[in-house]
A and B are shown apart, each in its own frame.
Chain A
């Protein structure tokens, strides 16, 4: 715990999970759009937002403050991703926001659940 490699491993695991989940959500939501391009946009926008989000949350909201970090940073990420989806796919504003909220909420939920389950398994 606490070393550079561990932080990077956490970041990469979280990033991979996020990409997978958000790609599925985008492809599922917008069947008429080219799937490859949807996944590509999802990957690229997450490459922009995820490292910044992850670093900011770990730096400014460590340990038990992570919930506050999520509450502060997730909406920012959702707004950025919704904007990118709106312009690049392109989507109507409401659909873009819906897609970003759904994708990030799903990603966050699965991330938290996996941590809880993994933590329980380790503890048990």
Chain B
């Protein structure tokens, strides 16, 4: 295929009458191939309602800072974890101790920001001890490429930390399930969601410390914040979400996955290189034909 492309491009060079060095022809060939490669790109990135767009929104955990002296967190999925997983980036923070010193009364909530990319964490662990968590953070930085970091983590720190356990957010489970069905209120149609904030509390038992969702806030651009409790979220249906978020049926209708929609971002990310390539080609041809 590459050979065919090269042959086609070189033939085209001849057709449009470019006379130049081999360097010129190679440049022109590469530019043309790049342009050809760009043509299917918009189709590849077109919207197909599979929930991928969730990555463009923030999901924020709000902790009561008084519960935290320090925090390090990572994602576990089926007894293994990836700090920077394929589907998820979690903002690792170790600044809680310093924050606490600046704000000893803990008036300001402490945020842990999770950026989602089409999936949600199965289990999130945190270590509520600033000194240990900073040590762990350094350890994680040094070992994040290990094949089985969780096992190594347990061996290195298992006896020194009390992990907090956070199970998947029930409201996000529903949001993403609905997204996979095509009903996607996260998308900027009818309502543009900026971020979801999950308020959490820390509960202790004899065996573990749990991070427990207590409520959710949906922050929309230019619209009032919508608040629901965690209990409410667990029993909500699609119709409930429609009503709660004030989205009419016409706007939350299922979109067939074959619908292709362009986002202005992709116009930039793919349109600009296309225009640039065409422009360079045109300038090149003009320069070769008419001189400087």
- Once A4-B56, A62-B89 are accepted as A-B contacts, the answer to whether A50 and B272 lie under 8 Å apart by CB is yes
- Digitize B144-182: 1 where CB-to-A-CB distance is under 8 Å, 0 elsewhere: 000000000000000000000000000000000000000
* Residues of B contacting A106 in the complex (Cβ-Cβ under 8 angstroms): none
**Does A40 sit at the interface, judged by CB under 8 A?**
yes
Binds A, one of B4-12, B63-71, B200-208, B280-288: B280-288
Q: Does B24 contact A (CB under 8 A)?
A: yes
Flag A11-27 by CB within 8 Å of B: 1 or 0 each.
11001000000000000
Q: Which residues from A are CB-within-8-Å of B275?
A: 47
Asked whether, in the complex, the Cβ of B276 is within 8 Å of the Cβ of A88, the reply is no
Chain B residues with CB under 8 Å of A62's CB are 84, 89
State the majority secondary structure of interface residues on A.
helix
Complex Cα–Cα for A46 and B272 (A)? 9
Q: 28 interchain pairs (CB within 8 A)?
A: A1-B58, A2-B55, A2-B115, A3-B58, A3-B194, A4-B263, A8-B265, A15-B272, A34-B292, A41-B283, A44-B279, A47-B273, A47-B275, A48-B34, A48-B272, A48-B276, A48-B277, A50-B272, A51-B273, A54-B269, A55-B269, A62-B84, A62-B89, A63-B89, A84-B27, A86-B23, A87-B23, A88-B27
- Chain B residues, Cβ within 8 Å of A37: 283, 292
- Bound Cα distance from A45 to B279, whole angstroms: 9
Q: Chain B: interface secondary structure?
A: helix
Chain A residues 76-101 with CB under 8 Å of chain B are 83-84, 86-88
Task: For A44, give its contact among B23, B58, B280 (CB under 8 Å).
Answer: B280
- Do B277 and A12 touch (CB < 8 A)? no
Residues of the A chain whose Cβ atoms lie less than 8 Å from the Cβ of B292 = 34, 37
Among residues of B, the one whose C-beta sits closest to the C-beta of A8 is B265
Query: What is the minimal beta-carbon distance from B115 to any residue of chain A, in angstroms?
Result: 5
> Chain A residues with Cβ under 8 A from B139's Cβ?
none
Do A45 and B269 contact each other (CB < 8 Å), given the known contacts A4-B56, A4-B263?
no
CB distance from B125 to the nearest CB of A (A): 20
Q: Are A88 and B264 in contact (CB under 8 A)?
A: no
Contact of B264 among A3, A8, A15 (CB under 8 A): A8
Interface pairs A-B: 9 shortest CB-CB: A47-B276, A48-B276, A44-B279, A2-B58, A47-B272, A4-B56, A44-B276, A51-B269, A87-B27
Cα of A52 to Cα of B115 in the assembled complex, Å:
22
B113 at the interface (CB under 8 A from A): yes
- Complex: chain B residue closest to A93, CB-CB: B23
In the complex, residue of chain A having the shortest beta-carbon distance to the beta carbon of B282: A44
Given contacts A2-B56, A63-B91, could you give 17 more A-B pairs where the C-beta distance is less than 8 Å? A1-B113, A2-B55, A2-B58, A3-B57, A7-B265, A34-B292, A37-B292, A40-B279, A43-B276, A44-B279, A44-B283, A45-B276, A50-B272, A52-B269, A52-B273, A83-B27, A87-B23
Interface residues of B (CB under 8 A from A): 23-24, 27, 34, 55-58, 84, 89, 91, 113, 115, 194-195, 263-265, 268-270, 272-273, 275-277, 279-280, 283-284, 287, 292
If A2-B57, A51-B270, A88-B284 touch, does A46 touch B265 (CB 8 Å cutoff)?
Answer: no
Chain A contributes a number of interface residues (CB within 8 A of B) equal to 33
**A17 vs B34: C-alpha distance in the bound complex, in angstroms?**
25
**Least Cβ–Cβ distance between B188 and chain A, in angstroms:** 8
**Alpha-carbon distance between A7 and B263 when the two chains are bound, in angstroms:** 12
State A4–B263 Cα separation when bound (angstroms). Answer: 9
Nearest CB of A to B274, in Å? 9
CA distance A45 to B273 in the complex (A): 8
**Bound: A44/B274 CA distance, A:** 10
Chain A 30-41 per-residue mask, 1 if CB under 8 angstroms from chain B, else 0: 000010010011
Residues in A with CB closer than 8 Å to B24 are 87
